[in-house]
Structure 1
Amino acid sequence: MEIKEENIINIHNFLPHREPMLMADYILELTPENVITSFEIKKDNIFVHNNEFVEAGLIENLAQTCSSILGQSFFENPDADTKVIGFITNIKKIEVFALPKVGDKIISKASLVSQFENICQISCETFVGDQLLIKGEINLFIQEVKS
């Protein structure tokens, strides 16, 4: 995948997460049904242990990537007072194949499987280069919170 700087979207515009719980740096592609994010593993990340990004970090990265699909409609107007909170309601299936190391840039891809209002099922996977690290299906619920 060729990443063009002019196409990179700041994920802060689509997720309420902030450091130290922000596990995605940029949105590389975003449509109503698909999203691709990138994240560089840094040594001070709370999910790094023995120079590896552990399973909980990979799952949180997937959840944040998936949330971008459903959350995009809430973030169309960055000046709006509406905030959202996302909840993982179910992890239907998860398979971990390898853990990335500090300094790796992971690419996560998610595709909407089904949606009913603010509840959705999303298929997702994360890679370092061509190596598949994790794949799964996650159900999410997004709750709107008015300021």
Structure 2
Amino acid sequence: MDNIQLPNRDSAFIEKLIPQRNPIIMVDAIYQHELNKVVGGLTIKTSSIFVNQDEMKEPGILEHMAQTVALYTGCHFYINKQEAPTGYIGSMKGIEIFRYPKVGENLKTEVEILHEIMGVSLVKIETKVDNEIIAKGEMKTVIAEG
């Protein structure tokens, strides 16, 4: 995995790793990538469609978490010189949001792959601002058949 320069905040590069496009892009950094784990980030901006009264609300947090999972998948496809696939959230389990992040704060989200088989992944996700956990849970994602 050493052909990905980390940390990386190059928006053009990150767009190659995820299927989403503006104004829905909810990851702007990749800090770590290894087998069964990725750490992605996002700086909360006023211009985000998910920000209301200077805070990112639930849909934005969940979308950021899901896109961090997509970042993991996209890295694997990138390394194999393939285009990032489209994926879907299959289910969410035990999602807890402890507080909304504020404009200017930096999210750092760690995704750990618990199980992966035939395009379906079960992952554990934890989102932090500095060292404070602001959201966590599990997600099942599915890669769309091409």
Q: TM-score, normalised by structure 1?
A: 0.86
Give the superposition deviation at 1:76: 2.6
What does residue 35 of structure 1 align with? 38
What does residue 130 of structure 1 align with? 131
Is 109-118 or 136-145 further displaced after alignment?
136-145
Q: TM-score, normalised by structure 2?
A: 0.87
Q: Tell me the SS of whatever aligns to 1:12.
A: helix
Q: Tell me the SS of whatever aligns to 2:144.
A: strand
What does residue 115 of structure 1 align with? 116
Q: Tell me the SS of whatever aligns to 2:135.
A: strand
Give the superposition deviation at 1:77: 5.0
**1:70–1:118 contact (8 Å) kept in structure 2:** no
RMSD of aligned Cα (Å)? 1.6
Amino acid at match of 1:8: P
Q: Tell me the SS of whatever aligns to 2:65.
A: helix
For 1:89 and 1:58, the matched residues in 2 are separated by: 17
Give the superposition deviation at 1:69: 2.2
Structure with the higher strand share, 1 or 2: 1
Correspondence 1:61-76 to 2 at 5 A: 61-76=64-79
Give the superposition deviation at 1:83: 4.9
Structure 2 residue runs without a partner (length 5+): none
